[in-house]
Amino acid sequence: MPGYSARPPAIPTILIDDAVVRVTRWDFEPGAATGHHVHGMGYVVVPMTDCQFLIEDAGGERRVTSKAGEVYRRDAGVEHNVVNGGAEPMSFIEIEYK
Amino acid sequence: MPGYSARPPAIPTILIDDAVVRVTRWDFEPGAATGHHVHGMGYVVVPMTDCQFLIEDAGGERRVTSKAGEVYRRDAGVEHNVVNGGAEPMSFIEIEYK
């Protein structure tokens, strides 16, 4: 079944959505996933916890660990599914600039 | 003595400085201050700890408490001094967009 995912959904909470930015906190229980998506805006991610990312994209699957506060930036156009590949809940804040 | 400040300095650590953003982590021991400054760029602040801000600006002095993760955005042109008005170390990450 295309699109079917046994993974629980990551939970987005919009913190700010104005003319300049959209800021979303993403909370993941272990195994949770965003679902496949394409980023329409450039963005900065601020991990609020240590994050054990499992990234699924055109290149396949890879694991990336980011410590709390280990910020990174990406341009618009990134296409992937983001999974909590760890055994602990994880959370990050995503700042998209319009 | 103008400009003299008995407060210890807040410590800035540049995490990213590229064509799109400048991301700085600011660490404050209790009583530490940034020193008076004017923001040349719009910015988003992500508190990494609970923050007991003491803000000194043209309007005087006021105390603002932000919980960890309680994000806020400001436009360029803000002018103030930011002090850790609490008894605990505080830290936030500032994302300035160019």
Query: For A31-88, what is each residue's pLDDT tens digit?
Result: 999 999 999 999 999 999 999 999 999 999 999 999 999 999 999 999 999 999 999 9
A17 inside domain: yes
Q: Is the ipTM of this complex over 0.90?
A: yes
**Residue of chain A with shortest Cα separation from B49:** A48
* A18–chain B Cβ distance below 8 A for any pair: yes
A23 inside domain: yes
B80 inside domain: yes
Q: Using CB atoms and an 8 Å cut-off, which of residues 28-67 of chain A contact chain B?
A: 42, 44, 46, 48
B2 inside domain: no
Report the gap between the CA of B60 and the closest CA in chain A (Å).
27
Residue from the list B25, B44, B48 with its beta carbon closest to the beta carbon of A21:
B44
With tokens 């506060």, the residue in question is A69
The CATH number of residue A66's host domain is 2.60.120.10
- Cross-chain Cβ contact B93/A16 below 8 Å: no
**Residue of chain A with shortest Cα separation from B76:** A20
Report the domain count for chain B: 1
B20 inside domain: yes
List of E strands, chain A: 11-17, 21-28, 37-38, 43-47, 51-57, 60-66, 72-74, 79-84, 90-97
Could you tell me which residues are beta bridge partners of residue B82?
Answer: B55
Contacts of A5 (CB under 8 A, 6+ apart): A33, A35
**Per-10-residue mean pLDDT, chain B, length 98:** 74 98 98 97 98 97 98 98 98 97
B3 inside domain: no
Q: Which two tokens stand for residue B4?
A: 């003299």
**Residue of chain A with shortest Cα separation from B26:** A69
A2 inside domain: no
Residue from the list B21, B73, B75 with its beta carbon closest to the beta carbon of A44:
B21
* A95–chain B Cβ distance below 8 A for any pair: yes
B4 inside domain: no
